[in-house]
Amino acid sequence: MARFLSRQFEHRDRLYHLEIGIDQIAALRDELSIEISARSHSPRGDGGVSIQAVLTVDLERHEIVIEIEGEELGRIPLDATAVADVDEADAEGAEGIAREAWDGLVEHLVDGDGNPVAETIEAIIDAIPTGDPLLGCLLKGAISASVGQIIRCYGKLSPQDETVRQKLRALARCLGRNVWGMLGRATARALRCMVRGGF
């Protein structure tokens, strides 16, 4: 069963929801993914829009695959510790880090053939037809916080975790312990983005 956590807040007469789910049982099937959902609607419940992303850990290729609305956006190496370091600095409240967390992630993104995709990523996210640019803030905050935590958890794997299943189970446990922090960092980044009018 997936473990879902969510936050809700209001901004300019719209309600925003951010939900992060970790399917811990999937690690028993040799797979692990994080599902991210960002939605907004009026207080009456009408005019709703949403956007979904899925982060899948691919241990064979040592990558995190990032998909938005079912389309692969890019991949980031599990050893991209610079991404995790900036994410962790943001968790400690360093000023101005939210943008750096996203930019650092984008710099490491590659396509399935290993080619950089940094030049196209913003255009891809901006082109998603939500009609609400602040959903992009939510999505970027959640993706960067989740990727940073996955990389930190991957770095904490024990030498005793030899098989793919053991590694995925250890990753799932670590992510489960840290999901509230991921949600908090994602929400804080989204709120800062909203205040500044962009990431």
Q: Where are the domains of the chain?
A: 2-196
Please report the pLDDT score of residue 57 as a whole number: 92
Q: Do 51 and 128 meet the contact criterion of CB atoms below 8 Å apart?
A: yes
pLDDT at 84 over 50: yes
Confidence tier at 100 by pLDDT (50, 70, 90)? low
**Sequence-distant (≥ 6) Cβ neighbours of residue 162 within 8 angstroms:** none
pLDDT at 193 over 80: no
Per the structure block, which two tokens stand in for 9? 């807040």
**Three-state DSSP class for 52?**
strand
b/e sequence 24-45, b meaning 16+ C-beta within 10 Å: bebbeeeebbbbbbbbbbeeee
Mean pLDDT along residues 119-145: 69
Please report the pLDDT score of residue 176 as a whole number: 86
DSSP code for 110: B
- What pTM was computed for the model? 0.80
Please report the pLDDT score of residue 181 as a whole number: 85
Cα separation of 176 and 179, whole Å? Answer: 5
